[in-house]
A and B are shown apart, each in its own frame.
Chain A
Amino acid sequence: DVKVTQSSRYLVKRTGEKVFLECVQDMDHENMFWYRQDPGLGLRLIYFSYDVKMKEKGDIPEGYSVSREKKERFSLILESASTNQTSMYLCASSLWGEGNTEAFFGQGTRLTVV
């Protein structure tokens, strides 16, 4: 089975802190994604990566950056956390190519910024 693991289930950080959310997948998937989930808004794509060191902005990249130094690991970085970044963050991965759009999700990280 595909396994996508997010390093923390719950995080509490202070305003202005630099925050790292880590995600690892074990199925050699090319694509990795970071989504943010808020009530009434569904899942919104922050960033995605389709190869090592490659990244593209999603729909809401402001205030975030990402890093992909190894194929299996995709990190989301909040450069200076703010209270409006309190949310559930979901990491996902998928294979490259036509017919491989299905995404596999981690358990999520619930981040609270105080």
Chain B
Amino acid sequence: AQSVTQPDIHITVSEGASLELRCNYSYGATPYLFWYVQSPGQGLQLLLKYFSGDTLVQGIKGFEAEFKRSQSSFNLRKPSVHWSDAAEYFCAVGPILTGGGNKLTFGTGTQLKVEL
């Protein structure tokens, strides 16, 4: 069964500082990997995704993530955080080959607080 671990429940960074949010997954093969962001009271918005190819993927809002097969990780990074980045971030894994449903499995989320 696929699973996702986000070890950091809460992270606080200062505006302008760099950010790294951790994500580890468990899956029998190379999965599809996603990072979503959720602002308060809103649904989830896709930040970026990895299917294959270059292991460093770029997303919206200046975010990037790196897929490391040897570590089963897909960490999210941003070089300089803005106050508007304060939100909850979810890592998700999904199967490449599907019999139906294309189900995603989500981590428990990391709440990011940005100090001005």
Minimum CB–CB distance for A54 against chain B, Å: 8
- CB of A40 within 8 A of CB of B108, answer yes
Say yes or no: A105-B103 contact (C-beta < 8 A), given A98-B96, A98-B98.
Answer: no
Which of the segments A14-22, A42-50, A63-71, A73-81 contacts the partner chain?
A42-50
Q: Which of B40-48, B57-65, B69-77 sits within the interface? A: B40-48
A48 partner, pick from B51, B96, B103, beta carbons under 8 A: B103
Task: Tell me whether A105 and B44 are in contact (CB under 8 A).
Answer: yes
Do A56 and B101 form a contact, CB below 8 Å, given A40-B9, A41-B108, A43-B106? yes
Q: B32 touches which one: A40, A45, A101 (CB < 8 A)?
A: A101
| A105/B106 contact (C-beta < 8 A), A40-B9, A43-B90, A50-B101 known | no
Q: How many angstroms between the C-alpha atoms of A45 and B100 in the bound complex? A: 15
Instruction: Please state if A101 and B44 are interface contacts (CB–CB under 8 Å).
Output: no
Which chain A residues lie closer than 8 Å to B34 at the CB level?
101-102
A48 B101 Cβ-Cβ under 8 A = yes
Q: How many chain-A residues does the 8 Å CB contact rule pick out?
A: 32
Q: Which of B44, B102, B107 contacts A94 (CB 8 A)?
A: B102
Residue of A nearest to B6 (CB): A42
**Contact string against A for B residues 2-44, beta-carbon threshold 8 Å, 1 for contact and 0 otherwise:** 0000100100000000000000000000001010100001111
- A interface residues, Cβ below 8 angstroms from B: 4, 31, 33, 35, 40-45, 48, 50, 56, 58, 90, 92, 94-108, 110
Complex formed: what's the CA distance from A99 to B109 in Å?
24
CB-based nearest B residue for A99:
B51
Residues of B near A90 (CB, < 8 A) are: 43-44
Q: Is the pair A105, B43 in contact by a Cβ cutoff of 8 Å?
A: yes
- Shortest distance in angstroms between B110's beta carbon and chain A's nearest beta carbon? 10
Contact of A96 among B49, B102, B107 (CB under 8 A): B102
